[in-house]
Amino acid sequence: MSQAASTRSTWSNRWAFILVAIGSAVGLGNIWKFSYIAGASEGSVGVFIAVYLACVALIGLPLLMAEILIGRRGRGNPVVAMLNTAEESGNSPYWALLGWVGILGALMILAYYSVVSGWMLDYFWQSLAGGVDVKTAEEAERTFGALMASPMRLCFWHTLFVALTTAVIARGVVGGIEAANRIMLPLLFLILVLLTLWGAVVGDMPAALRFMFNFKTEAIKPGVVIDGMGHAFFSLSIGMGAIMAYGSYLDKKTNIGYTCAWIAIAGVFIGLLSGAAIFSLTFGYGLTPAAGPGLILQTLPLAFSHMPGGWVFAIFFFLFVIFAAWTSAISLLEPFVSWLTERYGIHRARAAWSTSVPVWLLGLAVCLSFNEWSGFKFFGRILFDLLDHLATRFMMPLSGLAIAIFVGWRLGKTIVADEIRLKPRLFGLWFNVLRFVVPVGIALVFVYELVLRDWLQ
């Protein structure tokens, strides 16, 4: 084992790891993205949720285990972890490219992720200052539109969010990442439970549940399937090196299988619960959920403005979203920072702040893509959409596919079994799902989406 490897940090205990991994998983994906993708798939929300749940169980969970396995076995940042495990198993060092895709992809996601988190900071600030007072849908749209049209405001909040994220990473694995999650996650959970109960009292929970679980097979539309799969990847933080980096700080004793089950269950549970709270308010106040990416910033403030004590609700709601986003963002910055510190021996704080600069710059371009630069389109999309599309529809699934092939077919059963210590039956089930179901599932969705979809219509 190399010098760097033997002196690496490790999480305080198994629960600390579960906590940080849940912190990474639960984020804007479960709240902002989930609600707007679901809201946009009118009539097929049930299908989207069913595909998402199936993908979490059959593709996400097995991959989560595989990614943590590589991190822990390789004992290094994602590039080194891939290199070490590839070498140990007699495979080509080019597998390290997968680590590169992860650490760079994570920075790319972070650039637009922190812009959206900035929106949440802005609304939180407005709520603190007396509430976002909107009485009609047009007013809500105008308020959100004003934010999107203001490069100054977007850039300011984005900058603040990048700084908050970097400050945590600069403090280290245990003193920064773990400590931040220990404070934020329990609070996040508590706020969510309160919000859901409150939302059920003043809103229309039965309508929300009907909306979310109305499964009609005829509603299966082509895009819904890849949306469901992409969302499973995004919401479980798969394929971007984040979970691999976190796994590299995991001790040998912790059982990866059971730990991952906790992470997946918590991710799904928190996602569904926040969806229920959001839609309950939406329907309770006679609003329609299909407002696109601005859903929680247009529809919800409208509901807040009409409900008793709405501004208190708004403060807690946006705090909840910010905690969720912050704990995910730190996991997006960590992989590259750990690579810098381990590769060049740079002090962590310096590595963190210097990594944040390109992320911040790309984020500034994303802020401008909503206003000044909205005319610049790449494949018909503004920069913001392009980055999100690239990451969720291509990079994450393809990287997931490569991880499944690497662990399922190249790493060798001895190494795999040494890391995944499950009862033989359970192990066999997981290993076969990883070898066959995961690659075939991802490939089928790709072929369908990229080749057959237009053809079949």
Q: Which residues bind ligand PFF (CB under 6 A)?
A: 24-25, 27-30, 106, 109, 234-235, 237, 240, 242, 328, 331-332
**Rounded distance between C-alpha atoms, residue 189 and residue 216, angstroms:** 32
Place of tokens 């609003």: 287
Q: What is the nearest approach in angstroms of ligand PFF to the Cβ of residue 51? A: 16
Distances (CA, A) of 229 to 20, 27, 233, 240: 23, 17, 6, 15
CB of 2 to ligand PFF, least distance (A): 25
Structure-token pair, residue 307: 């409900």
CB proximity list for 138: less than 8 A, separation 6 or greater? none
Nearer to ligand PFF, 46 or 400 (CB): 400
Residues 6+ positions from 404 with CB-CB distance below 8 Å: 62, 63, 66, 434, 435, 438, 439, 442
- Between 77 and 331, name the residue whose CB sits nearer to ligand PFF: 331
Nearer to ligand PFF, 230 or 294 (CB): 230
* Nearest distance in Å: CB 345, ligand PFF: 25
Contact 277, 299 (CB under 8 A): no
Q: Please, where are the H alpha helices in 56-204?
A: 61-74, 78-88, 96-128, 137-148, 151-170, 179-202
CA-CA distance, 233 to 256, in Å (whole number)?
A: 18
Cα–Cα distance for residue pair 233/64, rounded to 1 Å:
9
Nearer to ligand PFF, 114 or 331 (CB): 331
Residues comprising the chain, all counted: 457
Tokens representing 319 are 């705090």
Q: Residue 105 CB, nearest distance to ligand PFF (Å)?
A: 8
Residue closer to ligand PFF (CB basis): 112 or 198: 112
**Buried/exposed 182-215: b ≥16 CB within 10 Å, e otherwise:** bebbeebbebbeebbebbbebbbbeebbebbeee
- Nearer to ligand PFF by Cβ, of 116 and 147: the residue is 116
Q: In the complex with ligand PFF, which residue's Cβ is closer, 27 or 74? A: 27
CA nearest 325: which of 32, 40, 67? 32
List 381's β-bridge partners, or say none. Answer: 378
CB of 120 to ligand PFF, least distance (A): 12
Give me the residue whose beta carbon is nearest to ligand PFF.
29
Q: Are 165 and 356 contacting, i.e. CB atoms less than 8 angstroms apart?
A: yes
Q: How far is the CB of 69 from ligand PFF (least distance, A)?
A: 16
Nearer to ligand PFF, 28 or 300 (CB): 28
Cβ distance 251 to 174 under 8 Å? Answer: no
Displacement of CA 72 from its chain's centroid (Å): 21
Nearer to ligand PFF, 84 or 328 (CB): 328
Cβ at position 391, least distance to ligand PFF in Å:
8
Q: How far is the CB of 426 from ligand PFF (least distance, A)?
A: 26
Smallest distance, ligand PFF to C-beta of residue 4, A:
23
